[in-house]
Amino acid sequence: QVQIVESGGGLVQPGGSLRLSCAASINLFSYYDMGWYRQAPGKQRELVAGITSRGTTNYTDAVKGRFTISRDNAKRAVYLQMNSLKPEDTAVYYCNRKWAPYISWGQGTQVTVSS
């Protein structure tokens, strides 16, 4: 059964850091471009970071220079290191394929940035 499980979220003060993890039980995981998405209350889900099968990364402007996406194909895992967090980073974070067709979405992990 294809499954995605995100973890690592929590409550952090502005300027703090978190590392999110995504475990993806996907066959041929190493061939897929993967991404981290987030959805804030009342907003659409957006892609914030992507990583190709070869490890090339890209970021939305709002997180560039603060977030780092990485992957471990042997573990079928994707990570998101988030530094210098801001209140506007508060959202539920999800991982999935970067391109459609998407895998069934996991439950996500809540990140709350607040003092």
Convert the pLDDT of each residue in 1-20 to its tens digit.
Answer: 778 999 999 999 999 999 99
- What is the per-residue pLDDT for 26? 85
- What is the per-residue pLDDT for 98? 93
**47, 33 in Cβ contact below 8 A?**
no
Query: Of 1, 8, 19, 4, which Cα lies nearest the Cα of 76?
Result: 4
Query: Of 45, 59, 58, which Cα lies nearest the Cα of 91?
Result: 45
- What is the per-residue pLDDT for 94? 98
- What is the per-residue pLDDT for 44? 97
Low-confidence ranges of the chain (pLDDT < 50): none
